[in-house]
Structure formats: C-alpha cells, structure tokens
Amino acid sequence: MNIVFMGSSEFAVPSLRRLGEDGYNILSVYTQTDKPAGRGQTLHYSPVKTQAMSMGLDIKQPMTLRDTDTQNELKALNPDLIVVVAYGLFLPQTVLDIPKYGCINVHPSLLPRHRGAAPVVSTILSGDKWGGITIMKMDNGWDTGDMLRSARVLIRKDDTTVTLMDKLSYIASDMLAEILPLWVEGKIPLIKQDPDKATYFKMMKKEDGLIDWNDSSLTIFNKVRALQPWPGAFTHVNGKLLKIISCCNKEEPADGVPGTVIKTKNSVSVVTGSGTIVLDTVQLEGKKAMPAIDLARGNGLPDGAVLS
C-alpha cells in the first residue's frame, strides 16, 4: 500500500518508524518547516524530519496545504492512504479527498473528550483517570471524524505530559500496525462521535502556567504535571519567578493563607485553598533546578513567605 505520512512532533516518530518496519511504501513524509531555536536562532528539524532522513524517505515541508500547487503535488503522488500523526497543519477537504482510503488521524485522547491542540495536557489538567488514543477517519471538522478504534491507558500519579505522551506514542504505533490492513479491507466499521460529550481545549499561553494558590492541592498538582515541559507551572517568591517542576499533593488542611510556605527539617510545603502542596524540585529565577528543601535551607524559600 502506498502511503503519505504527515507528522512533526516526537509523538509521531514511533508510528512513522513502525510503518517503515512493516513494509509500507511511504511515498513521502510531510512535516512542518524548520524552526529557529535557541539564542543563535539556528534552524532545527522536526523530530519526524530527522526520522524520515534516517529512513531515506522523501520529505516535503509546505507552509500550508491550502494552495493549489501543494495540492497538485500531493495528488501526483497518488497515495492510497494518508496517515496523519501530530502534524500541526490543517487538511482542507480537497486534500482529504485525494487518497482512495481517506486520511487517518491518530489523536492522543479518548474522543470526543479533549478535542483540540493539546489533548494530553487537557487530560492531565482535568484530572482524568484514563488517557488514550483514538484513530479516526478525518473530516473537515476539528477532531470530529468518525472513529475506527480507541484504546485507553491508566494515568499514574507520577505521569506528566511528557511521560504520558511517550507511552501513548508507542500504543499508537501498535494500533496503526493492527488497524491499517483491516481498514483497507473494509473490516472496520466507523463509529460516530457523540457531539454532546465533546470537550475542547484552548491553545496554551505562557501566562497560563501561573499557579493560583487558592485552588485545591489536587488542581495545582495536576497543573504542575500537565504543563511540563511548556509553559511550566510557576509562582513568585520575594519578587522572583519560581518554577515548580515536581511536587505532590496532600489533602490534609494546614494553617495559613493560601500560598504560605511551611518549612520543616526535611520538607517544604505550601498552603492551598484545600490541602497542601509538598514541593519536590523547583527552579528559582537565575538558578539551576534543585530540591526545594535545599533552596529553603539557603533561604531562597523562607518559612512563612507567601507565594503569589
């Protein structure tokens, strides 16, 4: 079967690799354009481009799939199927209509829950017990296509967006390997999504990482896990930005206004609107990441200070 693969992020790499290992003829890999990064603004390849180069595959990096020349180039490839995994560009109807077997998308949530641009962030932020993968036939809506299959995975208390994405990426590659032959043989019935159960997640901004200590300890704990690695959860102590890299929550109430630091011999906690947050790893503005207790012992996180 002749396939065009569209993907960009690290999440898509196992799926591309698996399709190659399973012997599919990958006509071309579409990925986002190289992006400048770092102080020198050096151009960086997407993880998918790096993987495609190692596999010796043809690579295309259009700015958009909406223009006629790009669409004609894609039509000339004559793919049987387009597989889309964390690509990042919108596929218009003219593109969706090109392949014989349609465009199949791998989405890292249990649709129709958590449609949108950051489904794993949304899953952890919402405190869901289960995360998952949904494979769907794309339509011109925003994650609204009919579903082929879904699989779920239990979210551990120590899971962050990084760790959950990594687990889901390998589940996705296994699902694709199992489903694609059945799909082209017409052996997988489509399942419509229930729009009444749909949830959407807005694009994150850096300021969304600011912690509101009036929230419950569980809400803050989920936020710290969900917003790794970007934008990260943060607060301020004595006018300096303090990133909360890891922590745990306790539901037992504590005295003090929300945001108050409680230092003991071996731990640092913060009062919340309900319960406390025990800080594990933090990073004070201008310093390296370190255990919170070490920062407190150096008086960078004073007992009784109120974080804001």
User: What is the distance between the alpha carbons of residues 74 and 95, in angstroms, rounded to a whole number?
Assistant: 8
User: What is the distance between the alpha carbons of residues 227 and 232, in angstroms, rounded to a whole number?
Assistant: 5
DSSP string, 188-209: S--B---GGG--EEPPP-GGGG
Instruction: Judge contact between 225 and 120, C-beta under 8 A.
Output: no
Interior angle at CA 190, CA 184 and CA 192, nearest 5: 155
pLDDT digits (tens, 9 = 90+) for 240-286: 999 999 999 998 888 899 999 999 999 999 999 999 999 999 999 99
Looking only at the bridges linking them, the beta strands covering 59-60 and 25-30 are parallel
Task: List where CATH 3.40.50.170 sits in the chain.
Answer: 2-200
Respond yes or no on whether the N-terminal peptide bond of residue 229 is cis (omega within 30° of 0). yes
Instruction: Judge contact between 249 and 275, C-beta under 8 A.
Output: yes
CATH number for the domain whose boundaries are 2-200 = 3.40.50.170
CA distances from 146 to 26, 35, 54, 186, 256 (A): 24, 33, 33, 14, 51
User: What is the distance between the alpha carbons of residues 225 and 238, in angstroms, rounded to a whole number?
Assistant: 24
pLDDT digits (tens, 9 = 90+) for 181-240: 999 999 999 999 999 999 998 888 999 999 999 999 999 999 999 999 999 999 999 999
Sheet architecture: strand order including 25-30: 59-60, 25-30, 2-7, 81-85, 103-107, 130-137, 147-154
Which of 97, 108, 104, 86 lies closest to 31, judged by CA? 86
Beta carbons within 10 angstroms of residue 124's beta carbon: 24
Beta-carbon contacts of 59 under 8 Å, excluding residues fewer than 6 positions away, are 28, 29, 30, 31, 49, 52, 53
Please state the pTM of the whole predicted model. 0.95
206-297: what fold? Methionyl-tRNA Fmet Formyltransferase; Chain A, domain 2 (3.10.25)
Task: List where CATH 3.10.25.10 sits in the chain.
Answer: 206-297
User: Amino acid letter at 8?
Assistant: S
pLDDT at site 127: 97
Structure tokens at 150: 């879904």
pLDDT digits (tens, 9 = 90+) for 238-253: 999 999 999 999 988 8
CA quadruple 139, 145, 147, 150: dihedral, nearest 10: 110
Interior angle at CA 110, CA 106 and CA 113, nearest 5: 115
User: What is the distance between the alpha carbons of residues 294 and 266, in angstroms, rounded to a whole number?
Assistant: 9
pLDDT digits (tens, 9 = 90+) for 46-80: 999 999 999 999 999 999 999 999 999 999 999 99
pLDDT at site 37: 78
pLDDT at site 39: 73
pLDDT digits (tens, 9 = 90+) for 125-151: 999 999 999 999 999 999 999 999 999
